[in-house]
Chains A and B, each alone.
Chain A
Amino acid sequence: MAQKHVLVTMNHAPYGSIYYTEGLRAVVGVTSGIDEHTVDVLYLGDGAYYALKGVDRRDSLKYLGTLEKLGARLKVERESLQRLQLSESELAEDIEVISRDQALDLIRRADVTIDF
């Protein structure tokens, strides 16, 4: 199997389920192994709540540390923020805000998408 580019979308709000942290664990898994797959992480819909700077990240910190070393940035869709009435000033510094058009570009570039 050759190297692939994988888009992982995170659609669940943090807490109340394990999706938000299991998704990040899967992202790390995707990047592991001999094929060295590359990955984008995109927060959509209620998943955008994870982008808030006050979110307790203790249970996902080790995954985020690995992703940072790999140079994979977390992205959140601006339209999702707007729907949730979240302002960009409320977001953690390591989150990159992108437009829906840019989100579509991520889909086009991806060989595979996985949702959590």
Chain B
Amino acid sequence: MSKDHSLFIDGSIPPDLVSTQIAKQQTDLRAGAHSIFLGQVRNDPIDEKRVHAIEYTAYEEMVLKEYESIKEELFDTYPLRTIEVFHSLGTVPAGEVSLFVIVTAEHRKEAINACRDAVNFIKKQFPIWGRELLGDEGYQWKENNFDE
């Protein structure tokens, strides 16, 4: 299991992190499929206002513990090569990426299923909170919808 990076990224996840992670897998000649999920901040309408950005905070030590636990569970469930998760802390403007999951396996079916499970687990089990900033007009705490 890879422990060579910090899961947390200060601010938005830079698009070139995705290509760096793909390039990293090129040395693994047994890898045949990567499944990638990118979560992007939407400018949702809230009453008369719009979400300009989301400011994330986390209970970091507990997130890292949950991360180890989901990796263990997914490696037990599916024949995987690697799982990498990155999540933003701090402010991420609408249109930019705050969550990046890449799962690599020999075949597509396990890569896709494990990536879906990882995203669902992250939404439900990672102690991370998003404050939706409404420009100069205040904020509201984000609520996750587990089905969307």
Say whether A associates with B: no
What residues make up the interface of A, taking CB atoms closer than 8 Å to B?
none
